Amino acid sequence: MKYFIILPVLALLFSCGSNDGTYLQVEENNSTIDSLYLTALISDKLIAKIDARDQNSLLPLPVDSVSIGVIKKRGDRYNYHLTVLAPNTKTKLRVFSDSTYATDKLSDSLLNYISRSNNNFIGRHQPFIYSTSDMDSIVDLFEVLRNKRRTVIEKNKSRLSKAELELLHFQNEERINGFLLFFGRVVKRLSPDDSYFRFISTIDENTRWAKTLPDNILYKHEINYLRQHDSLTNIGSFINYIDEKTTNRDLFSFLKAVYLRDIIESPSYWEKHQKLFDTKELKHLADAEANNPYFAIFKRASTSYFVSGKGKKAFDFTAEKLDGTAIKLSDFKGKIVFIDTWATWCGTCLIQKPQALDLAEQYKDEPRVEVIFISVDSSREIWEKYLNRKGETESPNNFYIGEGMRSDYAQNYNIKSLPRYILIDAQGDIINGNILEPSESVVNIIENELQNM
């Protein structure tokens, strides 16, 4: 994604710069894009629809405090531009011939640099990160990136407002902490008492910027909760713990909504919690949170959960084989189907894939069971190259679904994060749409189903 920096004061860019209010203007469009959408970073709430062909009007934005927005095409999870939203500012947007886009603000340039350098750094050091047994060395490794970005921010501090400077430093720190928390909690499954997590003491759970990266605060709360309680017995006790640690009531309401949404949409990130979550609990929580000002964050996820849950008729998707042949879920009618939804960019998918391959091997001679692998990579070429590199091109159960996480398949099965494992019975009904991993418990369920067939 391109971004550019315009040095003159923003007010000089607009003839009506003396007026109060927050505005966005499309300065240039050299692409075929007609519309873009500005949404809130965390809630994905629509802030404004941008007419990319209108290069004259100022689009008013309802902004009353500093936050982060996302400019993107409808449904596009991969190509986007982050923008700092602040009261009484005016932003110009350029759309380039390759259909990328960028704003003219220095703060936006730095924010996107922080976001993308995180992923690039992880990609470059992935072999070391995923192979070393010295966990402290991983934390030390990320100090290099943290200090490098801190230097870049400080070099530009004279051209940033106080709020922008604080927000950028927060994003620098917490985007690194976010990966470290994911790696320790989800990938390595470390004990909450492990010294690796010493860095969480630096996370301020009541910072004014908490809403721009709330997951880190929730992860910190979980680690500290488990240090005190050994285990999690119910969802309500953890919500009460969040309440105790949060001084701002509005932030507490926000964190509750995000937490409940994430249990549904990112179950692998909240394994201990997801095991306590079922339809009955969800209905209870939905009723209890009906007056939460951020209920919409939770409601959309809960609606999808009911649609994709146990006992529901499985969506009859279409996927492609390597040779381009189309298959439908209904082609497996009369069989138990285990689906491994994955992508080549998903580290956890690749770590857990051998377990799914073992499952496929175990049932290769059982005609009533199919174990299939569905890639939701952003392009078919990436998927094909991976299979060729791994020597998996001969497997008959590798499939690809175009548009990946934006596809009807992902929408109907409420797939917001990977990996995602789904088990469907011989009648085409969902047995479990949120399996955490292809473990022995899956084998037990399949064996029970086979006995009843």
Q: In what order do the strands lie in the sheet with 398-400?
A: 326-328, 318-320, 398-400, 369-375, 336-342, 420-424, 430-435
Specify whether the CB–CB gap between 153 and 122 falls below 8 A: no
Backbone angles phi, psi at 75, to 5 degrees: 75, 0
Longest dimension (CA), the chain: 76
Q: Which residues contact 52 (CB under 8 A, 6 or more apart)?
A: 26, 29, 31, 33, 34, 35, 36, 95
Angle among Cα 106, 107, 112 to the nearest 5 degrees reads 100
Amino acid 190: pLDDT: 95
The residue among 274 and 250 whose pLDDT is bigger is 250
Closest to 223 in 3D by CA, of 236, 205, 206: 205
Q: For 10-104, give the CATH class.
A: mainly beta
Q: Does residue 269 register a pLDDT over 50?
A: yes
Q: What is the pLDDT of residues 397-406, one digit of tens each?
A: 999 998 877 7
> How confident is the model over 68-92, as a mean pLDDT?
87
Are the C-beta atoms of residues 289 and 257 closer than 8 Å to each other? yes
CATH 3.40.50.150 fits 318-451, yes or no: no
pLDDT tens-digit profile of 114-148?
999 998 999 899 889 989 999 999 999 999 999 99
The domain ranges of the chain are 10-104, 108-307, 318-451
| Rounded Cα distance, 45 and 132, in Å | 40
In the predicted model, is pLDDT for residue 12 greater than 70?
no
Task: Decide if 414 contacts 437 (C-beta within 8 A).
Answer: no
Distance separating alpha carbons of residues 362 and 280, to the nearest angstrom? 34
Specify the pLDDT at position 302. 73
pLDDT for residue 298: 83
Convert the pLDDT of each residue in 367-415 to its tens digit. 999 999 999 988 899 999 999 998 988 888 999 998 877 788 988 887 8
pLDDT for 164-206, tens place per residue? 999 999 999 999 999 999 999 988 999 999 999 999 999 999 9
The string of pLDDT tens digits covering residues 235-246 is 999 999 999 999
The structure's pTM equals 0.72
How does pLDDT run across 331-346, given as a tens digit for each residue? Answer: 999 999 999 999 998 8
pLDDT value at position 304? 62
- Nearest Cα neighbor of 111 from 177, 50, 166 is 166
Average pLDDT, the chain: 88
Helix, strand, coil content of the chain in percent (nearest 5): 50, 20, 35
